[in-house]
Structure 1
Amino acid sequence: MNSFSSATSQASKDNNEVLVNVIVKLEANGNCSAIVPGLPELRVEASDRTAALAQLQQRLETHLAGAEIVSLSIKLPSTEQKNPWLAMAGIFKDDPQFEQMLSAIENYRQEVDDSMENNFLQE
């Protein structure tokens, strides 16, 4: 999960800004905590939501000073299983004896079917 997305300030095109996803949670002790997913070291706790967000923003700005946030496109390996028979598909398409072989297979199957039918009728 990426906590950062880039945005350009409409007030000034020179002022680069980053939108940051923050998890804000009311704690059992009544305080409010704020944390950036993926950066647990920047967790803050304050008496209210506004103060927690202000403190977290200050810590983030200090943490990111002089840093650059970039997005990388990573190609993930395919998780789908490949059919090993596909590598052989079509290898006989230009074989002049392919049609003869298909005819021989069809004739053999017909002979076996006829033989089984005759055996069945004799029993």
Structure 2
Amino acid sequence: MILAVKNDLSSIAPKLTYDVLIENQEDSTVKATLLSLPECQGLGATKEEALNNLIQLFQARKPEIVTLEIEPAKTEHPWMKFAGMYKDDPQFDQVLEYIEEYRRELDVEMEEYYQQIETKDKTK
């Protein structure tokens, strides 16, 4: 497995947006919870105070956001172990001939079937 961490430490940090759940508490306070990090909560007497406390708490954690690129492991297709397993079997050519003959028979049957349908449609 190959793991690559992308970390762009530019001088201007991009603004990030977060979904915040605002809840009025029974004791008349307001709780603001960062939905992506439910353990990160700010409390306050008002919505604005709770949000400001949440922002300060989040910034105090000094979060760092990185992007991981994980390359999947190279695996062989599960059917590849069967590829060519009958190439040296003396009956393999006979099996192929049987399949081809059966296919020709089915093609003839289907052609007859379509002709019957076409004939019925013309007689209506």
Bin of the TM-score, shorter chain as denominator length: 0.3 to 0.5
Task: Select the structure with the greater relative contact order (CA < 8 A; seq sep ≥ 6).
Answer: 2
Calculate the TM-score normalised by the size of structure 1: 0.47
**TM-score computed with the length of structure 2 as normaliser:** 0.47
